[in-house]
Structure 1
Amino acid sequence: MTRSPVPNVSNVQPLLDTDVLRSFVAIAEYGSFTRAAKAVFRTPSALSMQIKRLETTLDQSLFVREARRVQLTAHGELLLRYARRLLQLNAEAVACFLTPALEGTVRIGTPDDVGTRVLPQVLSGFAASHPAVQVDVMAGVSRVMLERLDAGEIDLALVTAGSRDVDPERGEVVATEPLVWVARADGTARLREPLPVALAEHGCAWRASAVDALDRAGRPYRVAYSSEHSAGQRAAVQADLAVAPLPRSLATSPLLEIVDDPKLPALADTHILLVTGARRSEAAQTLTQHVVDAFRALRG
């Protein structure tokens, strides 16, 4: 009788734990142990221990820890590509054998700046955990999104609001950001009189905040450029046609800079408000909670 050879245990390669890989990817994407810990519902010390064990297993350093953030080493960047593929394969394998508990279609409305900056990252996590739910996204100005919500055309909406427009009974504030004056870095628009400004259309919280601040300060201005989308405002500023009131995170182009000028009045904070319809399916309720949790993790 021929016996099968006994495997040499010493030559067996270690298996990578998907839970540890999920923590590793979160740290790489957030650039912070603290923010990643909130996203994966663990403590920073627990994540630190996981990464130490992972580095020991692979015999490589994966992160460079700096004062305010952590960055991947060359080996960390290599592992990140493998980790994302392994996690995706794991999710696909589980989805093939387990009947999804949640199905249906959810329709969400959002302004274009939220839809391009924040929402894709939020929805990617939801799609991984609930692959059978179809999410349809409609982009447009906040006023129109609220009208569609009231008409039952969408299930929930992320809208922008000024401090005076926030109604806690209407929705939940999921993000707050300073509104700042933005100009071309080497431009002269900020020096012109009356001040040329690029504004969103009527009904936008950014526009209302800017007009109210300029009027109260008695600063002469003219609307040199009006656009339904924030991309239009940024284009006008980059062309040095005007200055614009924008959330701080949108002043990221090398051509743009935040204006620190006492002649320009301070602006109120801008908020992202999550508003839900009166009748929500189980899928819509689950997505609503996922959006709240995702924004809470981003704030961390």
Structure 2
Amino acid sequence: MPRNLDITSLRSFVTVAESGGVTRAAGLLHLTQSAVSMQLKRLEESLDTRLLERAGRGVGLTAAGEQLLSHARRLLEINDDIYRRMTSEDLEGELTLGVPHDIVYPAIPEVLRRFAADYPRMKVQLLSSFTRALKEQYRRGQADVILTTESACDPGGETLATRRLVWVGAPDGSAWRARPLRLAFERNCIFRSGVQRRLDEAGIGWEMAVDSDASRSIDATVSADLAVSARIEGTEATYLEQIDHGRTLPELREIQVNMYVADHGQGPAAEALAEMIRNAYAAV
């Protein structure tokens, strides 16, 4: 007699394998740790084999677990595709997603591609602006989901990632050695005043090399080795690079990437989009 695998247990197994631990997986699945552990135990008992083993503070896959993982992913993709196609017919309309321009890459293009494939009757309008402007549009009800880069998270939001702010300049550039240090930031950039303050505290003179609200002007100035700037680690463009300054520049603060989802308008669709964004950041 054929035996059936439990999709819920498979989802817990895949999430634990990808996130590296039961605690993290429980948060991603919105379950308790004991519930996830019970599902894993049930799956191992049904297959009569051990799938996971402890590795330091996390967990690792056994040989059987490695073999199961790729099959489980495919099963979940098929399950989720069937569910979406059979239940998303009424998800029709338009969503507005706001994202600061410096964190559009690398996660958002893939999220938009997947959302369009899964919900073909939904349109997503992408707003790219500064955190302050996006939060104001969100407050006015002009955006359904926004991402922000902030030092803290406001009530009603959730933190997707905490990343370091790093100095960036032209590849093999030398602008970071100049004193006063020439800076390039948009007028409304939320990082600008904090970077200036850290330089003041370190006793390093600085001056603004460009006065613009256009990110292209800022990037052109920095890539020409006429100034330096700061970016969230991992989001710098290919024509810029992190500066190996040997501690001659002050360390910069950590930044939170936060998400806010409105409780008005396209509720189910907005939550579906938000879940894809969560998963994209969890996978990084």
| Aligned equivalent of 2:252 | 267
- In the TM superposition, 1:72-87 aligns within 5 A as 72-87=61-76
Task: Tell me if structure 2 keeps the 8 A contact 1:173–1:273.
Answer: yes
Please list, as runs of the form range in 1=range in 2, the aligned pairs for 1:1-300 lying within 5 A after superposition: 12-98=1-87, 100=89, 102-119=91-108, 131=119, 134-138=122-126, 140-142=128-130, 145=134, 154-162=143-151, 168=154, 172=157, 174-175=159-160, 177=162, 179-182=164-167, 189=174, 192-194=177-179, 196=181, 199-222=184-207, 228=215, 232=219, 236=223, 244-248=229-233, 250=235, 256=242, 261=247, 263-274=248-259, 280-283=264-267, 286-287=270-271, 290=274, 294=278
Q: Which amino acid aligns with 1:24?
A: F
Q: Is residue 168–residue 231 contact of structure 2 (8 Å, CA) maintained in 1?
A: no
Secondary structure of the structure 2 residue equivalent to 1:203: coil
Q: How many angstroms apart in 2 are the aligned matches of 1:66 and 1:76?
A: 14
Residues 288, 14 of structure 1: CA spacing in aligned structure 2 closer, same or farther, 3 A cutoff? closer
Taking a change above 3 Å as real, the CA distance of residues 156 and 39 of structure 1, as seen in their structure-2 partners, is closer
**Aligned to 1:37, what secondary structure does the other structure show?**
helix
Q: Per-residue CA shift, 1:136-157, capped at 9, x if unaligned? A: 1525232564576578764332
Say whether the 8 Å CA contact 2:91–2:269 is kept in structure 1: no
Pick closer, same or farther for the CA change 1:45–1:57 going to 2, 3 Å: same
Rounded Cα–Cα distance in structure 1 between residues aligned with 2:158 and 2:122? 25
C-alpha distance in 2 between matches for 1:132 and 1:283: 17
The amino acid that maps onto 2:122 is: Q
Contact 1:174 1:272 in 2 (8 A): yes
Does the residue aligned with 1:212 lie in a helix, a strand or coil? helix
Aligned to 1:3: none
Say which SS state the counterpart of residue 140 (structure 1) adopts.
strand
CA distance in 2, matches of 1:72, 1:283: 37
* AA partner of residue 281 (structure 1): G
Question: How many residues align structurally?
Answer: 272
Asked if structure 2 preserves the Cα contact closer than 8 Å seen for 1:109 and 1:138, the reply is: yes
Cα separation, partners in 2 of 1:191 and 1:259, compared to 1, 3 Å: closer
* Distance 1:287-1:66 versus aligned 2 partners, 3 A rule: same
SS in 1 for 2:77: helix
Q: Which has the larger radius of gyration?
A: 1
TM-score by length of 2: 0.67
CA distance 1:97–1:153, change in 2 (3 Å)? closer
Report if the CA contact (8 A) 2:157-2:261 is conserved. no
The separation in 1 between residues aligned to 2:38 and 2:182, in whole angstroms, is 51
Q: What one-letter code is carried by the residue in structure 1 that aligns with 2:31?
A: R
**Alpha-carbon RMSD:** 4.7
Question: Partners in 1 of 2:110 and 2:57 — Cα distance?
Answer: 22
Question: Given residue 99 of structure 2, which amino acid in structure 1 is its aligned partner?
Answer: T
Judge conservation of contact 1:106–1:133 (CA < 8 Å) in 2: no
Give the letter aligned to residue 283 of structure 1.
G
Confirm or deny: 8 A CA contact 2:181 2:204 kept in the other structure. no
State the distance in 1 between where 2:80 and 2:269 align: 22
Q: Is the 8 A contact 2:94 2:125 kept in 1?
A: no
Q: Partners in 2 of 1:197 and 1:77 — Cα distance?
A: 51
TM-score, normalised to structure 1, is 0.65
SS at match of 2:104: helix
Change (3 A) 1:96 1:134: closer
